[in-house]
Structure 1
Amino acid sequence: MAVGMDSPANCILYIRFSTKRQESGASRERQLEDCYAYAGRQGWTVTRVVEDLGRSAWSGHHLNGGNLGKLADEIRAGEIPQGTIILTEKLDRLSRMESRVTRRWMEDMTDAGVMFATVTPGKLHDRDTFGGSRLTDFLEILLGAKAANDYSENLSEKVTDGWEKKLKRQKTDLITRKVPGWITVTKDGDRVCNEHAATVVKIYQLAADGRGVRMIAKRLNDDKVPTWGRTATWDQSNVRFVLTSPAAEGDYLSGGANPGRVKNAGVFHPGYYERAVPADLVAKARAQLAGRKLTGGRETGKAVNLFSGLIVCDHCGARMYLRTLPNKTRVYQCSAANQRRGCPYNETFRYEPFEEAALDVVLTRALDDRHFRRPDDSLSLVHQVAAQQKAIADADLLAKNAYAIYLKHPDNQMAEDQFNELSAALKTAKAALGPLEDALAKARGWVSPAEHARRVMEIRDAIASPDKVIREAARLKVMDALKGVVAEVRCNAVDTQRGEPERTFALTLVGGMIGVKFDNNGMVIADYDLTKNLEVVTLPDGTAVDMAPGLRAGMLGGEQRLENALDAVLRRQEAAASSSSLTGARA
């Protein structure tokens, strides 16, 4: 629908471009300028800017590891106020994945109460866009931003009627009785999910959590999850089929299996099946599959290498890969040196001592509330808290009215009894709110500094748990957290800081603001922390100088992602210090 609202709204800007080359151009500045100007013309208040710089929308990486995916988690958790508008330059800034993925992801977000707006064209998409009342807007998303923009300019009433009939026919006509194992065809020809649909959702959830197809198949077999069809056990091929099948989203692809034998092969029929998997979960799972090289390949399911994608050779810049020696010792080695591609330093670096020592330094700074968030629980609790607050307001009003009546008729026993009854009801309603608010805070991951320190230690213990399920879940959580704060780890085979050449790991955080160097046995041999210099310094002449702006600009270069990461690390450090002081005081 055309943009225009009766009252001012809060607005979150979303900025994205795909390649590092665009980072040096004007893409970011243009998007920001256009979005700010557009929001100003509409009278919207910009409360936040979310950026995914250098992330492709074709693969869906921004929906998973990117900041848009994190914003979506906040929306699902009820942390973004309903009625908030997500404003972006064009629709393809949100996603260039297949149009049905974009549509269904937006549908899930609008169901949670937010709206989407685009500068070009000036459109506002809300829940009604996907409810059938605005077919033109629906087609714009279905067909893709550019094609839909050209299409909608010439869309006549006759064509609209034709599309309505076509969409209706696709949802009712049975094309084939050959359906995936999680779909059943009813007597009336409807295609509905059966008991195997829960297994499909489980596969997508495991993939979204970072597990590869091999590890998913092993988990399903270990849990004795039944297959369907002629295959007795799960393997990589049938897991991959589920993860790539359009039918998981409810779509049917004519001739997908045998395109040479089908006249109209490659034609999509959206909404042909009942959808088994939510759109956001599909996007996350498939983004993980597409990004396997960035997150550790086939071993990611086990999360063996917590620093996957972050550790490089200090001599040539090549990736350090993790290998296992015959004696079962795990070591890093330069991939270029191992493959004889120019790097002469083929020394190995011990993994276990480094992991143990590095986590002592990094873990408290890396794990924050979002890593303990339970979005599925929190959205329901948001509604319960709101309902209870309304009940309290209603009870308070009734009690005040009853008290006013009682003051006018102090001798009326009925008035006094009614006031006492309503006062008791108000007290009960207020008492019920506290536990709900506590449950919501925990579902959102909000706890005291002392409680956060305790749960970080629990995660630390869990990553070495003998229980495979607990260990994998904890290591995947830590892996995700490390990518938010660790800038890089550099392995030097001939470090001479202590005199004799030795092998060292140099770990830096958030744009180089914090750094620690370890030897090959995990001992700290040097460190620095520039965050301690982010304070006001008094010069000899008495002049007070704030060191923070200059130091931030010099180290972070004004990059918003690093600024946000640094602020988050500072908050966690302060919370950890507060927790330590409280513990010491109790002792």
Structure 2
Amino acid sequence: MKKPLAYSYVRMSTDIQLKGDSLRRQTERSKQYAVEHDLELVEDFRLEDIGVSAFKGDNVSSGALGKFLDAVKAGRIQKGSYLLVESFDRLSRQKLNASVSLFFDITSNGINLVTLSDNQLYKAGEAEFAQLIMSIVVMARANEESEMKSQRLSAAWDAKRRAVGEKKLTGLCPAWLELSEDRKGFHVIDDRAQVVRRIFEDSASGQGSFVITRRLNDSGVPAFGRSTGWVQSYVTKILQARAVLGEFQPHTKQNGRRVPLGDPMPDYYPQIVDEDLFLRAQFARGKRKVEGGGRKGEALRNLFTHLATCGYCGSPMHFLNKGVGPGGGTYLKCSHALRGLNCVPTAWRYQDFERSFFLFVKEIDLAEMFRASSQKSEVLILDERSVALAEKKSELELKRERTYALIDDGAISVEFLTTKLRECEADLASVEQQIADVDRQRREIREQQSISPDELRLLIDQLQKMEGSEAISQRSMLAARLREIVTDLKLEVEGSLPRQDKAAALLDAADIDIQDRNQILDLIEQSDRQAQRYNRSFSVVLADGVSRRVVLKSDDPASFIAEVLVDKDGAISGSDRGMPIGWSDGWDNVFDEPARAE
């Protein structure tokens, strides 16, 4: 005859108990009971809740005990099987009604329950009255003990929080700090703090966690703790840690998960990263999440990833590396055409486009990008401040929305939430005023700036000749700045030539004589070639609403045929084939007529 199956349930509220005798004791008792009562102990079915609370019912709602009950009800565990537990308090420490309900849920579904501490068997559906009374008393006592323990722990932590200025809550702290001997403060480990600040600076400049991790390992920077090298997940964790600002966020456990308890405690730790740098790093990380990060090449070659699109079909311009040799080099090509679909297959040599872009999009201040952090000009400092304020504004808006959401909860007083909302609105108004002030200062300074064409050409040469770690740092920072400034960038590799097909289609639809059709198309082509409308061109829209369009000379990326600026109010200025713009009222007409002979 086949032996009944027995399942040993082990629960411990903390991992620390693993180091003691609790696990061995509970396991050995189960084995002994199975042998003595001729049961087959199912040892490959791990029924353990380690570090899971029975006081809040987590072991039933999300733990192994709950999964066991689900399996029983689904028929995957045979009726008549045995559940072996050390005592009732391993099953539940909840209030009496919940504990009794769990007891009947087990026995009424055909499972025999055994408490090993007193060797009691509660048969499925047959528990005696005296047994029930005794089990109820035990379960009530377990809940009372847990309630008292919880109250004592809460009181102890409350007392620690009130005395936080005299003594720190816990000796645990970030890896760049160490607790003082009197437990009243933390000391900064200077070399580690410098590493953390560099991580934030690299992130703010546009480098992702992968690139930063590789730099740390390549440079031989010692990893924190016992690790033999830096890992990407730890760099990301550092970048998310508000502890660098000095904040400490207490947590509590709900349903087995750590959740924040109350507001963060400012000035708990020594601050090692200023708030502006922290916010700029968060802004840059957010941009990479939206636009796509990824592992960058050794020189971060394409600065226009996620920016440059085909002016004909709107597809992204793909960065194409043809290697070395006569036909080699790097190019930008329509990704639609690259897949053999119907679009212009002509490619634009990457270095030529990069040079043209920085020469003619004068809003991109390349000179400032090359200045070291210690030599930052006033305008670059203002640019960084603007980014930090924008991120601060986003944080405050999110905080306001979360506060509004709590009003419907009903668990927090409306008076308290109203006070929080007023504080948030006041902070938002202050940040918005600071943003307006910074924007005004930036405009005033940029209006006074100038750089000679020769100086700009030298800077572009310097940018394109960089190699190694310097290239990664500078080009990462520049790519990040471009994503902040540029909202739209369209490349037309063959100018208006692809639109010739549209003219032919219109004439075909008009059903005119074939000879007249061809004559009209020849005239259009002759006019376009004379006006140099087939030359490559690009148009860019900036975040402040300013637009530029540039038509380049075919044989010289540093020279243009037409350069037109449309300001945010719609006013047009610039030069078209040597003539000042003033006769046109928009993009559609800017390049319609060839320049008349002087």
TM tier, shorter chain? 0.3 to 0.5
Task: Select the structure that is richer in helix.
Answer: 1
Q: Greater relative contact order: 1 or 2 (C-alpha under 8 angstroms, separation 6 or more)? A: 1
Q: TM-score, normalised by structure 2?
A: 0.42
Q: TM-score, normalised by structure 1?
A: 0.43
